[in-house]
């Protein structure tokens, strides 16, 4: 089924501060390369029949390209983001305004949360990450507004600072994930919920192979996650490998660049 995505062209992308272990301001990033890689990602979605809408980038917000962090959308309701770091603070209102201007019901958050970075909407419930960026209290706030059960998961490795760096949805009922990113209790929860999950290696997780986007048939994934790609193919998925190495210098991959608009 075709999906609807919101994306933001990395017009002002740079690495000028460090708010996660991937970022090195001294090394910086090549904006032109990042734009070409982002355009290839957008083209990949459109080639699969998905609709891509765009939000205008804002000068001074280099991480606005990571649209997934801008909100969580489920059942047509938009739960806004409130960022943990001041550098990204204005992104939340910008994304919420985009939805409000188009008639979506919106909720301005009281609790710190970073949108789909830490909220993964499945068919029957929402998986929610905490530990680095999103307050546990935001899980309750999201549940009350979205009207969907929210299951909390604790992240323990700072390299995997958002849930979407360590886990992605395969088809609405199953997931792929890297166990080492989660606390012991959360690993047990994931084993109970998803006994047939795809488990990723540390090597594939370390190239953000789990920051992927699946439509239930096709999986758009970082090209370097080779073993994970083979396992997905073995499970019957079509794999579309993309190069987002420049955006990874800020800790982002395909999913980070992609906010799903669930009507």
Mind listing the pLDDT tens digit for each residue in 164-207?
Answer: 999 999 999 999 999 999 999 999 999 999 999 999 999 999 99
Mean pLDDT of the chain: 98
Q: Which of 8, 50, 139, 162 is catalytic?
A: 162
Task: Supply the pLDDT for residue 89.
Answer: 98
> What's the Cα-to-Cα distance from 188 to each of 30, 163, 180, rounded to whole Å?
41, 16, 12
Type and span of the H or E element at 52? strand 51-54
Q: Tell whether the model's pLDDT for residue 122 goes beyond 90.
A: yes
Task: Supply the pLDDT for residue 166.
Answer: 98
SS (HEC) of 67-109: HHHHEEEECCEEEECECCCHHHCCHHHHHHHHHHHCCCCEECC
Q: Which of 8, 50, 139, 256 is catalytic?
A: 256
Residue 140 appears among annotated catalytic residues? no
Please check whether residue 18 is in contact with residue 25, taking contact to mean a CB–CB distance below 8 angstroms.
yes
For 54, what's the count of Cα atoms within 13 Å in the CB-facing half-sphere? 12
Express each pLDDT in 36-46 by its tens digit: 999 999 999 99
Residue 4 appears among annotated catalytic residues? no
Task: Supply the pLDDT for residue 213.
Answer: 98
pLDDT band with cut points at 50, 70 and 90 for residue 71: very high
pLDDT band with cut points at 50, 70 and 90 for residue 1: confident
């Amino acid at each position: 089924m075709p999906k609807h995505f919101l994306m933001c062209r990395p017009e002002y992308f740079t690495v000028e501060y460090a708010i996660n272990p991937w970022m090195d301001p001294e090394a910086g990033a090549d904006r032109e390369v990042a734009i070409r890689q982002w355009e290839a990602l957008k083209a990949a979605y459109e080639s699969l029949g998905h609709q891509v809408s765009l939000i205008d980038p804002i000068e001074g917000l280099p991480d606005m390209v990571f649209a997934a962090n801008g909100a969580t959308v489920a059942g047509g309701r938009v739960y806004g983001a409130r960022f943990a770091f001041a550098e990204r603070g204005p992104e939340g209102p910008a994304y919420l305004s985009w939805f409000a201007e188009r008639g979506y019901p919106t909720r301005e958050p009281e609790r710190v949360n970073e949108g789909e970075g830490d909220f993964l909407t499945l068919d029957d419930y929402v998986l929610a990450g905490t530990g680095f960026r999103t307050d546990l209290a935001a899980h309750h706030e999201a549940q009350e507004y979205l009207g969907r059960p929210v299951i909390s998961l604790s992240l323990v490795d700072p390299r995997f600072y958002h849930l979407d760096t360590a886990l992605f949805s395969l088809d609405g009922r199953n997931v792929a994930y890297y166990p080492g990113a989660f606390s012991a209790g959360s690993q047990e929860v994931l084993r109970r919920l998803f006994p047939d999950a795809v488990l990723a290696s540390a090597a594939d997780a370390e190239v953000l192979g789990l920051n992927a986007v699946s439509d239930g048939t096709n999986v758009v994934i970082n090209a370097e996650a080779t073993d994970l790609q083979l396992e997905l193919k073995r499970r019957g998925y079509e794999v579309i490998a993309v190069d987002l190495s420049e955006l990874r210098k800020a800790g982002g991959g395909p999913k980070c660049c992609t906010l799903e608009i669930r009507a």
